Structure 1
Amino acid sequence: MRTLFIYLIVLPLCLGSVRAQSTLLDTYLEEGLANNLLLQEKNLSLDRALHAVQVAKSMYLPAVDLDVAYSHAKGGRSIELPVGDLLNPVYNTLNALTQSQAFPQIGNETINFLPQNYYDAKIRTVMPLLNTDLGYNQRIKAAAVKLQENEVEIYKRELIKEIKSAYYQYLTAIQVREIYHSSLALAQEGLRVNQKLLDAGKGLPAYVIRAQSEIAGIEAQLADAEKSIKNAGLYFNMLLNREADAEIFEDDMLAKDALWSLQNWGEVDASAREELSSLETGIAIQESVLKMNKQYMVPKISGFFDLGSQAEGLKFNEDSRYFMVGLTMKMPIFQGNRNRLKVQEAKVDLASSRNKKAQVEQQLAMAIGVARNEVLAALKNLDKSKVQLETAGTYQRLIQKGFAAGVNTYMETIDARSQYTQAKLAETVSKLQILSALANLERESATYQIPQ
């Protein structure tokens, strides 16, 4: 009836998600989301993407630059101006007519093309008037922010699943150690009883040796359990970015077998997965790139305004100061068919993105189905392990009573105790499998409400 009840609840609801989390585990999850180093790195990448959007918006604003150039040259190309040859005869005539030297002789001039002691300082303001690339670039950068936000959410979900699994693994290792401690106490009691029987002349040395061997085997298993606890604790604390030896508290709800709660919220699907949202955003980016490439014939027009001064000899006066206003236009005429090829390339990329989205949708649906089946199998295994544990416990009690009455041998008590220990371990592992399977299903269906 118990199994039937589970199937009647779980199958129609497609398993729902684990939402009744304990307060302690929720606290650990919040600590992990706040302190995990890799998550902090992804948040920094998100900040970088947000700044890139601001840069894209600033491209619409005018750019003002100070441009200063100084040059000094000698030699090079020059031009001869025969000023003296042209004017000196005239000056001689004028001096003769005026009987004075009011018009002195002048020499010919040589003008160099390269300026000497020349400067040009200006403040240039450039304003884009028509540039379709700026708008598409801004939309692409905004979409990149959405992609990075999805990356952060995706990692958060993975981190939540890993923290849960690590915590369940740690608690399971604790319970396994307790099981071995109980088994060791029973084995030590068996050694004590057999030693007393041997001392009284009613026991067998083989039973004492066998009891000592059993104790040694359990102690070795205890050492492995202690190692598992330490390794699980190290991994759990690493996920939360805590000290390696930080104390991990046990959850009372988990310890009391209140291990999970399935909530009725309808059919499970992959529509909430951030991966699909990222693929849709990627398709939108490819569409923007395609539209941008198609408008390669639209001219790019900018206006500029220069306010400056230029002169030789570092002069600064009314003659050196100037301003200039103008427009620049750039439009491709012939570029070896590169622009049309870019359009075709963008179309192929867009088709590839859409195909990839369809593939991922199939893969995610399959992953949810597999996760659902894992939960069902884990539920079955737990139900069977509880029956096996109950049977093994009853068998052990009967054999122990029979041994005390002299009906059963000591070897039969060891076998019964081993069966009970294995059954208890199987039940503990089954609980871990259910918790891990539910955490995986919750991850695959993206149903955990991540705190913001």
Structure 2
Amino acid sequence: MKKSPFNLLLIAICLYCIPFKAMAQYKLQDYIEEALKNNLELRNQDFMFQKSIYALKEARGLFLPQVEMSTQYLSSEGGRKIEIPIGDLLNPVYSTLNNLTSSGRFPQVENVSQAFNPNNYYDAKVRTTLSLYNAEITYNSRIKKEQINLRQAQLMVYKRELVKNVKLAYYGYQQSLQSVKVLENGVALANENLRINQSLVKNGKAIRTVISRAQNELTGLEAQLENARLQSVNAAAYFNFLLNKPLQSAIDAGEPDSSTLPADTLGTRKREELQVLESAEKVTALALKMNNSYVLPKLSTFIDLGAQGDFLKVNAESPYYLFGVTLSWSIFTGNQYKNKSHQAALELRSAQNQTSQARQQLQLEAETARNKLIGALQAHKAAVSQTSMSQQYFKDEQRLYKEGQALYLELLDGQIRLINDELKQTMALLEVRSKQAELERAEASYIF
């Protein structure tokens, strides 16, 4: 649909009215998505999750028929033999028959000595086995399935932790830039005071001591500024490390936004840490059932399709099939499975206790984080008010000093108070943002 000029003008006005500070939040969201995509440790966690999926497929494969081919060739000599007296049994009969028939149609035969070990013998077959009933296979498959939920919850735990760390690193970098800016302004004020003092001394309205004091103050501020710049470089390196980028990569930090500080929280969701413990509890309960299943029978079937006979000889009698059903039932195993069941039962009770304890700890963590955020908001409000007062105080002292109605120490005190209060304000804003990120983590309120 074609937009009218009035609509286009309205859209342009709305876009212009959006605070530029809010763009930093959109950029932060882009960085979070980049970290979730590129972070190396998160990739490792995803590998473990994918591994658990294949483990489930492996467990489910035990329900399917297993087919394998095997071939063996046997060659032997010596060993035990069995004597078969064929000659002793048949030769008297054959002699009598020859006499009666006056012929030699019934020859004499020798006794047979047959070795137990086959010689020059092959057996090639394809065996297919299928488990008809095995409770251990069933419980093992359920365990692998629950372990997928556990790995998935662990993956979400790391994602939330990564989001929190990226936000803290981003806010820390913003705060370091603001500290640099405050100290740069402080250096500018110190240079201005030095210029004013030099002018006053030149006109005979002040002694030279004020110039030395102003120079010392300027040197101290320049040292603080250099240290703040180094801290900003370190903060940027850590932030890029979380994003798996070169440590010297540029960061679009924008301006810290203090106009959208949180007024309330979104409410607590179920923490993935609890899901991890609950899944571990279910895995332990299934392991207990699997250990107790030793009292149940195991039923399976197999069929062999193959050929056997003298080596390299295949005839109509060589092919064969062998079908069977196997039923096994453990009668007595020295109480091994029974003791394993007792161990699994204790592990289950321990897992249940850990889940209950973790639930209380997470509730305490969320409540503590919420109270810390409220305290940080109040501290930031006080810091903003104090900075405003310090700015006015410094302006008044600077005006009075130029008019000769105030001491340099009073001006210097106003300058130091202003710089310190501005630094405190940036720290207070960082504290608010940090506590907000920690509360978001404690309540699991970030939406992926």
Q: 1:328 and 2:331 equivalent?
A: no
| Kept in 1: contact 2:196–2:402 (CA 8 A) | no
Residue 175 of structure 1: aligned partner:
178
Q: 1:232 and 2:230 equivalent?
A: no
Residue 351 of structure 2: aligned partner:
353
Shift of residue 375, structure 1, vs aligned partner: 0.6
Q: 1:188 and 2:186 equivalent?
A: no
| Kept in 1: contact 2:130–2:301 (CA 8 A) | yes
Alignment partners' CA distance in 2, 1:355 and 1:431:
40
Residue 26 of structure 1: aligned partner:
29
Shift of residue 293, structure 1, vs aligned partner: 2.6
Shift of residue 285, structure 1, vs aligned partner: 2.0
Q: Secondary structure of 1:59's partner?
A: helix
Residue 158 of structure 1: aligned partner:
161
Which letter does structure 1 place at the counterpart of 2:218? I
| Kept in 2: contact 1:259–1:435 (CA 8 A) | no
Alignment partners' CA distance in 1, 2:343 and 2:404:
87
| Kept in 2: contact 1:31–1:240 (CA 8 A) | yes
Residue 261 of structure 1: aligned partner:
262
1:215-294 superposed matches below 5 A: 215-252=218-255, 254-255=256-257, 257-262=258-263, 265=266, 268-269=267-268, 271-294=269-292
Which letter does structure 2 place at the counterpart of 1:243? P
Residue 48 of structure 1: aligned partner:
51
Shift of residue 264, structure 1, vs aligned partner: 6.2
State which drifts further: 232-241 or 75-84.
75-84
Deviations 1:20-39, CA, capped at 9 Å, x for gaps: 98211111111111111111
Shift of residue 183, structure 1, vs aligned partner: 0.4
Q: 1:446 and 2:444 equivalent?
A: yes
Shift of residue 106, structure 1, vs aligned partner: 4.3
Q: 1:419 and 2:417 equivalent?
A: yes
Residue 14 of structure 2: aligned partner:
none
Residue 426 of structure 2: aligned partner:
428
Q: 1:140 and 2:143 equivalent?
A: yes
Alignment partners' CA distance in 2, 1:260 and 1:51:
45
Alignment partners' CA distance in 2, 1:104 and 1:38:
87
Shift of residue 376, structure 1, vs aligned partner: 1.5
Q: Secondary structure of 1:449's partner?
A: coil
Alignment partners' CA distance in 2, 1:128 and 1:391:
82
Shift of residue 202, structure 1, vs aligned partner: 4.3
Residue 402 of structure 1: aligned partner:
400
| Kept in 1: contact 2:24–2:254 (CA 8 A) | no
1:339-378 superposed matches below 5 A: 339-378=337-376
| Kept in 2: contact 1:128–1:302 (CA 8 A) | yes
Question: CA, structure 1 residues 169+264, in 2 after alignment: closer, same or farther (shift >3 Å)?
Answer: closer
Residue 11 of structure 1: aligned partner:
none
Residue 113 of structure 2: aligned partner:
110
Alignment partners' CA distance in 1, 2:330 and 2:131:
17
Alignment partners' CA distance in 2, 1:53 and 1:397:
72
Which letter does structure 2 place at the counterpart of 1:260? L
| Kept in 2: contact 1:65–1:123 (CA 8 A) | yes
Residue 77 of structure 2: aligned partner:
74
Alignment partners' CA distance in 1, 2:422 and 2:216:
21
% identity of equivalent residues: 37
Shift of residue 84, structure 1, vs aligned partner: 4.1
How many correspondences in the alignment?
427
Q: 1:298 and 2:291 equivalent?
A: no
Alignment partners' CA distance in 1, 2:96 and 2:298:
62
Deviations 1:25-59, CA, capped at 9 Å, x for gaps: 11111111111111111111111111111122221
| Kept in 2: contact 1:25–1:251 (CA 8 A) | no
Alignment partners' CA distance in 2, 1:90 and 1:356:
89
| Kept in 1: contact 2:291–2:340 (CA 8 A) | yes
Residue number among 124, 128, 132 corresponding to 1:129 in the alignment? 132
Which letter does structure 2 place at the counterpart of 1:81? I
Residue 381 of structure 2: aligned partner:
383
Deviations 1:208-246, CA, capped at 9 Å, x for gaps: 222221121111111111111111111111111122121
Deviations 1:341-389, CA, capped at 9 Å, x for gaps: 2222222222111111110011111111211121121112112212221
Which letter does structure 2 place at the counterpart of 1:427? Q
Alignment partners' CA distance in 1, 2:207 and 2:75:
113
Deviations 1:167-212, CA, capped at 9 Å, x for gaps: 0000000000000000001111222222333344444332222222
Alignment partners' CA distance in 2, 1:43 and 1:448:
19
Alignment partners' CA distance in 1, 2:254 and 2:197:
40
Deviations 1:396-451, CA, capped at 9 Å, x for gaps: 1121112101122223222210111000000100000000001000100101111x
**Which structure exhibits the higher relative contact order, with contacts defined as CA atoms closer than 8 Å and separated by 6 or more residues?**
1
Alignment partners' CA distance in 1, 2:264 and 2:361:
25
Residue 217 of structure 2: aligned partner:
214
For structure 1, list consecutive stretches of 5 or more residues without a partner in the other structure: 1-18
Residue 11 of structure 2: aligned partner:
none
State which drifts further: 169-178 or 353-362.
353-362
Alignment partners' CA distance in 2, 1:314 and 1:435:
82
Residue number among 61, 76, 79 corresponding to 2:64 in the alignment? 61
